[in-house]
Amino acid sequence: MDNPIGNRSLMLRYFLLAVGWLSVALGVIGIFLPVLPTTPFLLLAAACFARSSPRFYQWLVEHPKLGPWIRDYLDGNGIPLKGKVYAIGLMWASILFSCYLVPLPWARGFMLTSAVLVTVYILRQKTLDKS
């Protein structure tokens, strides 16, 4: 069986590891800081680790505190409402700010289209019932 990680360049692997660990750090900060979303950062970290380090992926998914955030999504249980609200809110704030800074109409159109599609995707995901 092919090893998907062995085929990646070393530079890409280090990049994915760096983004993964940065996402873990931001996700952990998001647990304590209500302005920062936890779930999207931990999902990004899991995606980066899945493509760069099976060991770190396993560690993250099986972590007693961080793992449930990821497993709930991966198991199809959904995303917490708080995670959806923060992810959509911060995404739109950053996209609108970017549109303000970028004067190119085609770039604005691309950013707004991307934001709409990601919003629709997030809203279509099942909302995790924490009761």
* Same domain as 21, residue 67: yes
Same domain flag for 86 and 28? no
Looking at residue 104, its pLDDT comes to 93
The answer to the question of residue 3 being in a domain is no
Q: Please report the pLDDT score of residue 128 as a whole number.
A: 81
Does residue 90 share a domain with residue 39?
Answer: no
Residue 2 lies in a domain: no
Q: What is the pLDDT of residue 1?
A: 44
| Average pLDDT for runs of 10 along the chain of length 131 | 60 94 91 75 91 95 89 82 83 88 92 89 83 52
Same domain, 86 and 71: no
Domain range spanning residue 23? 8-77
**Rounded CA gap, 115 and 11, in Å?**
29
Exposure b/e, 88-110, CB count within 10 A at least 16 = b: beebeeebeeebeeeeeeeebee
Kindly state the helix (H) or strand (E) to which residue 80 belongs, with its residue range: strand 79-80
Confidence at residue 101, expressed as pLDDT on a 0 to 100 scale: 92
Please check whether residues 45 and 84 belong to one and the same domain. Answer: no
Neighbours of 129 (CB within 10 A): 9
